[in-house]
Amino acid sequence: MSAGHADPTPLEARVCSHEWVAEARLSGRWMLVVPSATGVKVLRRYGKRHLVAEWQRGIGMEPPDATAALEWRLLENLPPAGSEAEARCSETVRSPLVTGLEHREASGLGCSVRVPYDLAIFDGHFPTIPILPGVVQVDWAVGLARTHLRAGGQFKGITATKFRRLVQPGMNLALTLEHRPESGELRFEYLLGEALASTGRVLFRGTDD
């Protein structure tokens, strides 16, 4: 049964009845879906297209053309019906879900980073087996450092970067950042549970260097 509806529509009920769905709600032309644990496993193994194709077969085409223009968005939780958060569900997802920000002295930061189910980059990397590219992990680290550690200067390059484990939709990572203003270096480390997922160093230089 979809959140925010006392009586789900027949279309919502059919989507919710699938074993890969925990919750679902129709918002305009968007079907907002929270995948079940089984659905997440399928998503990581076969990609979003596989899930959507299966759901479309399940809901059929009654009445005619009812699902022709339907768009699908995978979410961790359904936002309140009619809320601003629900309206934003139609926007392209490019950023991680960041929680637990913790400053560590003047130049360090720790936080939790969750990889959204419906990240835009997964459409091309790769559609059938969604994998978070290393360059995106670096970009997230740099963005958080610029916002919370005031890491400035011109981006000059990446050094000594290692990517040890595949990162996929719905995974929770612990990110540690260490900024060294005197050298213009940013160090980052992503942990997946107790295992090292990736690590590296990024260099910045001031405009006068």
Convert the pLDDT of each residue in 33-78 to its tens digit.
999 999 999 999 999 999 999 999 988 755 445 555 799 999 999 9
Domains identified in the chain, total number: 2
φ, ψ at 27 (rounded to 5°): -130, 100
Domain range enclosing 120: 97-205
Convert the pLDDT of each residue in 151-196 to its tens digit.
888 888 898 899 999 999 999 999 999 999 889 999 999 999 999 9
Closest C-alpha to 62, from 7, 2, 14: 14
pLDDT at position 63 is 47
63: domain CATH number is 3.30.300
Convert the pLDDT of each residue in 125-135 to its tens digit.
787 899 999 99
Q: Is the pTM of this model over 0.85?
A: yes
Indicate the Cα dihedral angle 165, 170, 171, 176, nearest 10°.
110
Q: In terms of domains, do 125 and 157 share one?
A: yes
CA distance to 18, 74, 191, per residue, from 66 (Å) = 19, 20, 44
Q: In terms of domains, do 132 and 169 share one?
A: yes
Residue 188, domain member (yes or no): yes
Residue 1, domain member (yes or no): no
Q: Which of 90, 121, 156 lies at the terminal end of a domain, its last residue?
A: 90
